[in-house]
Structure 1
Amino acid sequence: MKRAVLALLTTIAGVALIVTHRTTPMPPAGMTRTTSSKTVTGDPADTGHGMIAVTLTLSGRRITRAAAVQHATSPRSRQVSARAIARLDQEVLTAQNAHVDTISGATMTSDGYRRSLQSALDRSARPR
């Protein structure tokens, strides 16, 4: 009899905890929480083959995403830029600043990327 009462009380306590437990609602699919993150875009920079602009997402002071949202349009430049930009985006996440290496074969793209990246970082540091 003692076991049955103990089991019943334990079950009631467990159900009460589940019913009163509050969670933070999850955002809808495809959306992210933005309470402490912000997105900034740097000024477009001329690469000699077109303009490049970098957008950063920051969570606090940490860079969580870097992406070129505008870049050269000629077929050869697109080919070079696609390869270089993917590497630059990853290097920014590792470095957490604008001091990223120049990508061999994409010097002008790398230079323009860094200028736009630094502009985005400067803009993110300004008070809102």
Structure 2
Amino acid sequence: MRKSHPVRRAVLAGAATVSGIVLLLSLKPASDPGAASAAGGAPPAAAQSPQGGRGAGSGTVTGDAAATQYGPVQVRLTVSGGKITGAEAVRAPKGGQSDRVTADAVPKLNRAAVAAGTADIDAVSGATYTSAGYVKSLQSALDKVAAASAGQDSGEGAGQGAGGGSEQGAGDGGEGQAGAGQGTQVLTGDVARTQYGAVQVRVTVRGGKITGAETLQAPRGGQSDRVTADAVPKLNRAAVAAGTSDIDAVSGATYTSAGYKQSLQSALDRAGG
């Protein structure tokens, strides 16, 4: 029995050595250090979206948030070549029944904005407040697009002038000439007071014709919200179609229609001034 101990020790020692080798091999890193370094490097090019909005009438623009009875609405547009190619509501009423209303109304409003190319879109049935807020934010986004485009056009006009110290003067003169000639004018009418609230209209005139109309102020609160949401888009379309303030009143919105026509006429009076 005493002679068997060295053999047993040798066997045990060999087994321990093998176990140690296996353990060392198991501690080898599972991933290549080079791969780990690459994973922590710069993000792929696809994640780096190009910055838009530097071309003529192209890029993305976000309108102001419009407060409604059920929560704010805010619209973001994608514009290419001066035309709306995409619209989305980055904010809309949420919680309770608003979730259902928003899910139904917002996609319709987005499609309508792209199809119309303006804020002159109809309210979605059952989503009067959301529709009104959407239109308001949409219009503010379009105003920003127009302002950016006008600024770029003004800069190009100044660059084509005599240069030097007369550059600013040439730019100012060019802008005034555009208003008096064949350029585009944005004209805001006087505020017309009605029994249910103020009405104010702004029109876009190009080449002596009304190409766009919007309502900056209209009666709000209670039943007036419903009346305004129904009447204002119709009045805006009528103004563009007629090219004058000689438009029919919307049924059920007599006071709003009268105020609209009064403010519209005052805006058109400025076109000849």
Query: Residue 92 of structure 1 aligns to which amino acid in structure 2?
Result: A
Q: Which residue of 1 aligns with 2:238?
A: 91
Q: Which residue of 2 aligns with 1:26?
A: 56
Question: Does the CA-based 8 Å contact 2:188-2:202 persist in structure 1?
Answer: yes
1:27 is displaced (CA, Å) by 3.1
Q: Does 1:119 align with 2:119?
A: no
Q: Does 1:72 align with 2:102?
A: no
Which structure's residues are more often helix, by fraction? 2
1:82 is displaced (CA, Å) by 1.3
1:28 is displaced (CA, Å) by 3.6
What secondary structure sits across from 2:195 in the alignment? coil
Aligned residues: 102
Q: Which residue of 1 aligns with 2:257?
A: 110
* Aligned counterparts of 2:57 and 2:260: Cα–Cα separation in 1: 32
Bigger RCO of structures 1 and 2 (CA < 8 A, at least 6 apart): 1
Q: Which residue of 2 aligns with 1:100?
A: 247
1:72 is displaced (CA, Å) by 1.0
Query: Residue 41 of structure 1 aligns to which amino acid in structure 2?
Result: T
1:47 is displaced (CA, Å) by 1.6
Q: Which residue of 2 aligns with 1:53?
A: 200
Structure 2 gap ranges (5+): 1-54, 60-78, 80-144, 151-177
Query: Residue 103 of structure 1 aligns to which amino acid in structure 2?
Result: V
Q: Of 182, 188, 191, which aligns to 1:44?
A: 191
Tell me which structure has the larger Cα radius of gyration: 2
Query: Residue 68 of structure 1 aligns to which amino acid in structure 2?
Result: T
What secondary structure sits across from 1:100 in the alignment? coil
Q: Which residue of 2 aligns with 1:9?
A: none
Query: Residue 77 of structure 1 aligns to which amino acid in structure 2?
Result: S
Query: Residue 27 of structure 1 aligns to which amino acid in structure 2?
Result: G
Q: Which residue of 2 aligns with 1:5?
A: none
What secondary structure sits across from 2:239 in the alignment? helix
The two structures, once aligned, show a CA RMSD in angstroms of: 1.6
TM-score, normalised on structure 2?
0.36
What secondary structure sits across from 2:229 in the alignment? helix
1:108 is displaced (CA, Å) by 0.5
Question: Does the CA-based 8 Å contact 2:187-2:270 persist in structure 1?
Answer: yes
Query: Residue 263 of structure 2 aligns to which amino acid in structure 1?
Result: S
1:109 is displaced (CA, Å) by 0.5
Query: Residue 40 of structure 1 aligns to which amino acid in structure 2?
Result: L
1:55 is displaced (CA, Å) by 0.3
* Aligned counterparts of 1:73 and 1:102: Cα–Cα separation in 2: 18
1:26 is displaced (CA, Å) by 2.8
* Aligned counterparts of 1:61 and 1:78: Cα–Cα separation in 2: 33
1:19-71 C-alpha deviation (Å, 9 max, x unpaired):
xxxxxx73343534556111011001012100000000111201010011111
1:81 is displaced (CA, Å) by 1.2
What secondary structure sits across from 1:86 in the alignment? helix
1:91 is displaced (CA, Å) by 0.6
Q: Which residue of 2 aligns with 1:11?
A: none
Question: Does the CA-based 8 Å contact 1:49-1:74 persist in structure 2?
Answer: no
* Aligned counterparts of 1:27 and 1:80: Cα–Cα separation in 2: 34
* Aligned counterparts of 1:119 and 1:73: Cα–Cα separation in 2: 22
